[in-house]
Amino acid sequence: MANTYNYFNQAYQKINGLIKENSVFTYLLAAILIAIPLKYAFSSIATILFVAVAFSSFFKIKFSFNKCLIFPVVFYVLMVLSLIWTKDVDLTSGGLQKELAFLFVPIPFLFVGELKRISKHEILRLFSFSMAFYAVFYFLKAAIQYFSTGDISVFFYHELVSQDLNAIYVSVFASLGIFYFVSQKKKSLYDNAALFVLVILVFLLSSKSIITIDFILIVCYYSFFSTIPNTVRITTVVAVSSFLFFSLVFVKEVKERFLLEYETAFVDNTVNNKIGNDSAKIYNVSLKQAWYNEKFQPNHFFPGTALRVYQFRIFKEMLNTDSIFFTGYGLEASQDKIREKVSENNLYSGYGDFNFHNQYAQTFAELGIFGFLILIAMLFLNLKNAWRHKDFPHIAFAITMIILFLTESFFCRQRGILFFITLYCIFNSVVKSEEKKL
User: What is the domain extent for residue 151?
Assistant: 120-262
pLDDT band at 438 (very low <50, low <70, confident <90, very high): very low
Structural domain includes residue 239:
yes
Q: What does the CA dihedral 240, 383, 205, 410 come to, rounded to 10 degrees? A: -170
- Specify the range with the lowest mean pLDDT, choosing from 219-223, 262-266, 309-313: 262-266
In tens, the pLDDT along 366-385 reads 999 999 999 999 999 999 99
Residue 357 within a domain:
no
- Residue 18: pLDDT band (50, 70, 90) is very low
Supply the pLDDT for residue 57.
67
Alpha-carbon 327 to chain mean position: 26
> For 217-243, what is each residue's pLDDT tens digit?
998 898 888 877 778 777 777 877 776
Q: How many CB atoms lie within 10 A of CB 145?
A: 16
How many structural domains does the chain have?
1
Q: State the pLDDT at residue 434.
A: 44
304 vs 193, higher pLDDT: 193
354: buried, middle or exposed (CB in 10 Å: 19+, 13-18, 0-12)? middle
Does some domain include residue 169?
yes
Residue 187 within any structural domain of the chain: yes
Does the residue 401 lie in any domain?
Answer: no
* Cβ neighbours for 33, distance < 8 A, ≥ 6 positions apart: 123, 126, 127, 130, 418, 419, 422, 423
Q: Is 104 exposed, middle or buried (0-12, 13-18, 19+ CB in 10 A)?
A: middle
Rounded to whole angstroms, the Cα distance separating 18 from 9 reads 14
Lowest-pLDDT range of 257-271, 323-337, 379-393: 257-271
Chain-wide mean pLDDT for the chain? 88
Judge whether 236 and 215 are in contact, CB under 8 Å: no
349 in any annotated domain = no
For 126-130, 168-172, 236-240, 370-374, which range has the lowest pLDDT when averaged over its residues? Answer: 236-240
Task: Give the global pTM.
Answer: 0.90
Q: Flag whether pLDDT at 21 surpasses 60.
A: no
Is residue 387, in this structure, part of any structural domain at all?
Answer: no
Judged against a pLDDT cut of 80, whether residue 252 lies above it is answered with no
What angle do the packed helices 230-250 and 208-220 form, to 10 degrees? 170
Distance from C-alpha of 51 to C-alpha of 28, rounded to nearest angstrom: 9
Planar angle of CA 34, 426, 186, nearest 5 degrees:
75
Mean pLDDT check: name the lowest of 45-49, 261-265, 281-285, 395-399. 261-265
Q: How far is CA 70 from CA 107, 381, 429, in A?
A: 8, 11, 12
Q: What tens digit of pLDDT does each residue of 89-117 get? A: 999 999 999 999 999 999 999 988 888 78
